[in-house]
Amino acid sequence: MSESTLKSEKIASYLNKFFIPVKINVSNQMDLVGKYHIGPIPSNIFLESDIDTKIYTRLGYIEEAPLMNILKAIVKEKYKK
């Protein structure tokens, strides 16, 4: 995803405006792999600002349009309804 979806100016701009993106190296950060139950790579995990509460997990590659839909739904807090 780093070489495709996340290179999209639209996605990058939206992520940087509303999120704090973090990329975890699963080989070196096993504590985080366990804490967030990171499975297949890529795993996309969205957390509340407390960094303990998961909002949404999506495993695998995500194309640009579906990722933007996910991001917009999180920003609008549709997961709370």
Per-residue pLDDT averaged across 49-70, rounded? 92
Closest Cα partner for 66 from 5, 12, 20? 5
Look at the block and give the residue holding tokens 């999209």. 8
* Residues forming a β-bridge with 57: 45
CA atoms of 56 and 23, how far apart (whole Å): 16
Question: What pLDDT does residue 52 have?
Answer: 87
Per the CB < 8 A criterion, the answer to whether 1 and 62 are in contact is yes
pTM of this structure: 0.81
Question: What pLDDT does residue 24 have?
Answer: 85
Question: What pLDDT does residue 79 have?
Answer: 76
Q: Look at residue 81 and tell me whether its pLDDT is greater than 70.
A: no
Question: What pLDDT does residue 26 have?
Answer: 86
